[in-house]
Amino acid sequence: MQDSPFSPVPGSCFVTGTGTDVGKTVVAAALVAALGADYWKPVQSGTDELPAGDAGTVARLAALGEDRLVPTVYAFKAPLSPDQAAAREQVTIDLSSLTLPRRERPLVVEGAGGILVPLSRRHTMVHLMARLLLPVVVVAPSGLGTINHTLLTLEGLRHRNLPVAGVIFSGPPHPDNAESVARLGAVRVLGTLPRLDPLTPAALAQAAQALDLSPLIDPPTRGFAEF
Query: CB neighbours (10 Å) of residue 151?
Result: 19
41 is catalytic: yes
Catalytic residue among 31, 39, 41, 139: 41
Name the residue among 110, 146, 162, 140 with its Cα closest to residue 17. 140
Q: Quick one: DSSP state of residue 161?
A: T
Task: Return d(Cα 105, Cα 107) in angstroms, integer.
Answer: 6
What is the secondary structure of 42-57 as a DSSP string? SEEE-TTT-TTHHHHH
Q: Which helix (H) or strand (E) holds 170?
A: strand 164-170
What is the CB-side half-sphere exposure of residue 90 using CA atoms within 13 A?
0
Task: Return d(Cα 146, Cα 119) in angstroms, integer.
Answer: 24
Burial label for 103, CB within 10 Å (0-12, 13-18, 19+), is middle
Query: CB neighbours (10 Å) of residue 9?
Result: 16
Q: Quick one: DSSP state of residue 80?
A: S
For residue 119, the SS3 value is: coil
Residues marked active site are found at 41
